[in-house]
Structure 1
Amino acid sequence: MTTKILIENLKIFAFHGVLPEEKILGTNYILNVEIQADLEKASESDELKDTINYAEINDILHNEMAIPSQLLEHVIGRIINKTKNKFPQISFIKVKLTKTNPPMKGEMDGVSVEIEKRF
């Protein structure tokens, strides 16, 4: 059995970017995370210890977003590593991070980087 846990459109204000003003002004970011694991035991036991606690994943996301980085890829890499270390039963993770107000010409909803990793 494969179970998916999805965290969808989590908005966090943070200070990532290469330009100096990005580290001073900050902007909103949107996180989407998909995690897959065999959580059949939790479907039978109804015990938190048998699943992946998505509240703890939310804490990881907030903690890693609070660390300023130049590259979104670096932020995502930290999120993937911390999440997998905390929950070794994860078999797949995908993280999409969107900068909603990138300092570029043109009107857009944002610029995203998405990384997925299979274990």
Structure 2
Amino acid sequence: MTMNVGFENLSIRSKTGLYPEEKLLGNHFDVSLKVAFPITEKIITDMNETIDYAHLVTITREIFSTDEDLLETVAQKIIQKISNVWPNINGIDLSIRKLKPLTLPMVGSTVVELRTGCFETRTSLTEVSMQETNSQSIAITQSKIAN
């Protein structure tokens, strides 16, 4: 069995960004994170048997405080730190959104997502719909060719 622990929509203000105006003014970020870890059928009754989501928030804030140039760097450092603290996890699903990026005022947000372990094969609903549509189109085309 696997259990997921994490948080959604953590609001962070940071000077993470490549451009001088981002370093000066900072950006607003929205972070969501899930960590999967193995469990047994035994009921969890002790914090040492789970992942402390408050610690996950602390790690995320700590990494953002370094004001890296790239969100990709921040994402990888968060993943590395979590993996070092909890080496037996099954995977991490991390999404970082830069809200209303200063250098792209016409864009609502930019996003970096990083998935490891059991989350790597996760398919979004949009991807599933596109795969189903493509499969149906292929089947219709093959039927027309056969006739």
- Summarize deviations over 1:43-98 as a string: whole Å, max 9, x none: 52400111111111111011001111111000000000000100112110011111
Task: Name the Cα RMSD after superposition.
Answer: 1.5
1:74 paired residue number: 73
Identity of aligned residues (%): 28
1:19 corresponds to: 19
Give the drift of 1:40. 3.1
TM score, norm. by length of structure 1: 0.91
Q: Report the residue type matching 1:6 in the other structure.
A: G
Determine the structure 2 residue equivalent to 1:97. 96
Structure 2's unaligned 5+ residue stretches are: 119-147
Structure whose CA Rg is larger: 2
The residue identity in structure 1 corresponding to 2:100 is N
Higher helix proportion, which one?
2
Q: Which residue of 2 aligns with 1:5?
A: 5
Question: Residue 16 of structure 1: CA displacement?
Answer: 1.1
Q: Which has the higher contact order (CA 8 A, sep 6+)?
A: 1
Quick one: which amino acid aligns to residue 112 of structure 1?
V
How far apart, CA to CA, are the structure 2 residues paired with 1:9 and 1:93? Answer: 16
Structure-1 separation of matches of 2:57 and 2:19: 27
Q: Are 2:89 and 1:57 aligned?
A: no
Question: Which is strand-richer, 1 or 2?
Answer: 1
Give the deviation of 1:113 after TM superposition.
0.6
Task: Kindly tell me the number of residue pairs found equivalent between the two proteins.
Answer: 117
4+ aligned runs moved over 6 Å, structure 1: none
Q: CA deviation at 1:34?
A: 1.4
